[in-house]
Amino acid sequence: MEELPMQITIKKMETDDEIRGKAYVHWKSWQEAYPGIVDQQFLDDLTLEKCESIAYRWTDNIIIAKDGDHVVGFTGYGKYRNDDLENTGEVFAIYILAEYYGHGVGYQLMQAALSKLSHYSKVAVWVLKDNERAIRFYERCGYCFDGREETLQLGSPVVEARMILDRPN
């Protein structure tokens, strides 16, 4: 396989083209990462148009990875959504196009999100329990399961588990 010539830039999402690029990565990465994990009908119903609608509604706290002019990954971050953990930030989403797996793009995005969350002593992520690739990635970034799980309805029930990154003071 030919090596991709990459010129990766990590930056805040700002333009309409970047928002549409983020939407494409959201849609395409779900199609690439979740067959066999998420109900196929749910994946079929997750259209590019739905992802564009989401992208235009959620423009804050999004960092993108670009290869030249093309968005190839993104992460969303912020304060932890629930009240059961104090002084905790959250990486809500991190998605990369499959052709960029193994090239450090996810790591660069995670580091950028963590730097924005540096004032939190912990950072949480939720991961589908059957998503072994993502679990290995989070473990390499220092996250550990804390035992909390929830069941989501994504066409059929899937279990997600919480992982926590504890930061030294």
Residue whose token pair is 């959201």: 26
Identify the bridge partners of residue 71 per DSSP, sorted by sequence position: 66
Predicted model pTM? 0.93
Query: Rounded to whole angstroms, how far apart are CA atoms 71 and 18?
Result: 7
* 3-state SS class at 17: helix
The two beta strands, 122-128 and 88-96, are parallel
Instruction: Name the average pLDDT for the chain.
Output: 94
d(CA 25, CA 76): 13
Residues with pLDDT less than 70, the chain: 1-5, 169
Report d(CA 167, CA 58) in Å as an integer: 27
What's the pLDDT score for residue 82? 83
CA nearest 64: which of 118, 7, 135, 8?
8
Distance separating alpha carbons of residues 139 and 127, to the nearest angstrom? 11
Token couple for 116: 């924005």
What's the pLDDT at 1?
Answer: 47
Joined tokens for residue 66: 């670009």
Q: pLDDT tens digits, residue range 105-134?
A: 999 999 999 999 999 999 999 999 999 999
What DSSP character marks residue 2?
Answer: P
pLDDT number for residue 169: 61
Which of 13, 138, 120 shows the shortest CA–CA distance to 72?
A: 13
The DSSP bridge partners found for residue 88 are 122
Which of 33, 108, 130, 98 has its CA nearest to residue 64?
Answer: 108
